[in-house]
Structure 1
Amino acid sequence: MTRFVAPDPWHALRGFTRARIALGRTGHGLPTDALLAFELSHAKARDAVHQPFEIEPLRAALNAEGLATLDAHSAAADRAQYLRRPDLGRRLSRESRAALEQARADAPELTFVVADGLSAFAVAHHALPVLVAARAKLSGWRIGPVVLARQARVALGDEIGEVLGAAIVAVLIGERPGLSSPDSLGIYLTYGPRVGRTDAERNCISNVRPEGLGYEHAAHKLHYLLTQAKRLSLTGVALKDESDVLDAPGVALASERP
């Protein structure tokens, strides 16, 4: 703090959080550096919402990891319509539905959907490492091609999973940007995906990014929830995330116990 800024007595707490606390004051206002930092974060959040989903670099990276891909587009024609009409982002366009029906082969146990959501930055930065870490834990699972979805809301995964005949769909999607997290990734799991599923029938792993929930920890939680969803034939409020218990020595998933 400079001599022009009156410090807050609890300034030391800033070492424990990225939240904007104890910024001090100059007169009745914020210090200039704090105000400029806020405006920069606000601009990054706005940019995250409008940033186009650059699919081709992600497709190339997934293919290099041996992961096949399919494309999908919601019924929202463009970003402006997507933001005005959330309902259109939850359903496939007629052309995408027809293409996925044509591409359907053997029904997979699990289909991953990578969707832009409200932050294409999140998908570009975090989807690949999460998928690689998760796949390493899912030996023996029949996993379908990764579906890359534009102008997508979470529920679009329900229709994609239904069309492809997947038992479970996992949607990796850019979450609503915050002023300290413009690139936060969310993972939503739905057992028996179909149009009309509600949020109460999903499980969510949120804030996946190096500054939040790290890739390996997210993959650990994802593996736990997928294994239990498969065992119990359900997701949602009836499926509790007890994955952290598995960090204790000698604890194994129910499906791994003798």
Structure 2
Amino acid sequence: MTDPVTPKQASFRAITQARLTHGVRGQALDTASTLAFALDHARAREAVMSELDAADMAKTFEALDLPNQSVRSAATTRDMFVQRPDLGRQLPTDQNQGLKGIGPVDVALVLGDGLSAIAASLNGPAFMATLSGAISSLGWTASPVILAHNARVALGDKIAQAIGAQTVVMALGERPGLSAADSLGVYITHRPQCDTADSARNCISNIREDGLAVGAAAQQALALIEAMRATNKSGVALSEVLALDAAKAPGIAPLSSQTKA
């Protein structure tokens, strides 16, 4: 039998999915909380080991009238990807050559599995479709959606260089926690290089049904790309410029308050 939820517990649970105020059980949680923990742990493990279904994703993008192309990182298996993060950042020569001729473009659109192919499948197509349409409406050129297997964030830099893109939008499944295994993260980098530091990226995170809505995330991404093109900066350098602009116009919140580098 589940104990009644106190007003204090209810107030916490209304604003977070984190495990708080479960009540005192000596050294253990109550049965319902223990079972919920086990389920969320299983979901997190499933997300990490899940693989991108390229054929199914391609059909989804075709239905959205978005061209797409698949690549893979140097991590040839999922186990290798988990154990060797460095290989997930490398683009093999044959994969690089397969991207030649796509660009040059203003923006490279990359959707990778990252640490949750489930998140990429659930939230990636809608995000890419919304952002691609917004980019086109501004008269910029975008690449086909590049579906990247066993991909880490920095793989987007190599893809952007192969395509000849000024800016890369790398969307991929975030590391799952015990409250969310379906969260998509988006990393945007202007003029990426092979040795680009993470401090040169801007990140929009927690894109999922119970987090940041896809439409709002696409709007933030578009605003960041516009700011990058205007300042020729991204990451911490861009956040500093936006913060300075906000200080000059106090009524306008800087984008850096909505994203993290």
Scaled to the shorter chain, the TM-score interval is 0.7 to 0.9
| Amino acid of the structure 1 residue aligned with 2:9 | H
Q: How far is the alpha carbon of 1:119 from its aligned partner?
A: 0.2
Question: d(CA) in 2 for partners of 1:18 and 1:212?
Answer: 11
Q: Normalising by the residue count of structure 1, what TM-score does the alignment of the two structures yield?
A: 0.88
The CA distance in 1 between the partners of 2:78 and 2:132, in whole Å, is 31
User: In the TM superposition, what is the alpha-carbon distance from 1:57 to its structure 2 partner?
Assistant: 1.4
User: Who is 2:119 aligned against?
Assistant: 122
State the SS of the aligned residue for 2:82.
helix
Q: Distance in 1 between matches of 2:5 and 2:214?
A: 37
Which secondary structure does the structure 1 equivalent of 2:178 belong to?
coil
Q: Letter of the aligned partner of 2:38 in structure 1?
A: E
1:80-229 → structure 2 map (5 Å cutoff): 80-101=79-100, 104-138=101-135, 139=137, 140-229=139-228
Conserved in 1, the CA contact under 8 Å of 2:66 and 2:129? no
Q: How many corresponding residue pairs?
A: 242
Question: Paired residue for 1:230?
Answer: 229
- Counterpart residue identity of residue 72, structure 2: H
CA change 1:9–1:214 in 2 (3 A) is closer
Contact in 2 for aligned 1:167/1:191 (Cα 8 Å): yes
Identity between Structure 1 and Structure 2 (%): 39
SS at match of 1:235: coil
Residue 53 (structure 1) shift: 0.8
Give the Cα separation in 1 of the matches to 2:152 and 2:103: 26
Give 3-state SS (helix, strand or coil) of 2:66's partner.
Answer: coil
Shift of 1:112: 0.4
Moved over 4 A (4+): 5-9
- Per-residue CA deviation, residues 201-234 of structure 1 (Å, 9 max, x unaligned), is 1110011112111111101101100111111112
Give the TM-score normalised by the residue count of structure 2: 0.87
CA distance in 1, matches of 2:80, 2:177: 22
Change (3 A) 1:135 1:26: same
* Matching residue of 2:64: 65
Mapped partners of 1:69, 1:109: distance in 2: 16
> CA 1:115–1:11 in 2, change beyond 3 Å: closer, same or farther?
same
Distance of aligned partners of 1:196 and 1:21 in 2 relative to their CA distance in 1, 3 Å threshold? same
Which residue does the alignment assign to 1:254?
Answer: none
**What CA distance in whole angstroms lies between the structure 2 residues aligned with 1:193 and 1:46?**
32
Shift of 1:68: 1.0
Distance 1:192 1:27 in 2: 55
Please, which runs of 5 or more residues in structure 1 have no aligned partner? 252-258
Give the conservation status (yes or no) of the 8 Å contact 2:161–2:192: yes
| Unmatched 5+ stretches in structure 2 | 253-261
Given residue 8 of structure 2, which amino acid in structure 1 is its aligned partner? W
Q: Distance in 1 between matches of 2:102 and 2:222?
A: 24
Q: Could you tell me how far apart the structure 2 residues matched to 1:170 and 1:214 are?
A: 17
What is aligned with 2:20?
Answer: 21
Letter matched to residue 157 of structure 1: G
Root-mean-square deviation (CA, aligned residues, Å) is 2.1
Q: Distance between the aligned counterparts of 1:110 and 1:46, measured in 2?
A: 33
**Helix, strand or coil for the counterpart of 1:114?**
strand
1:56 corresponds in structure 2 to 55
Match for residue 11 of structure 1? 9
Secondary structure of the residue aligned to 2:171 is strand
User: Higher mean Cα deviation, 50-59 or 23-32?
Assistant: 23-32
Secondary structure at the aligned position of 1:204 is classed as strand
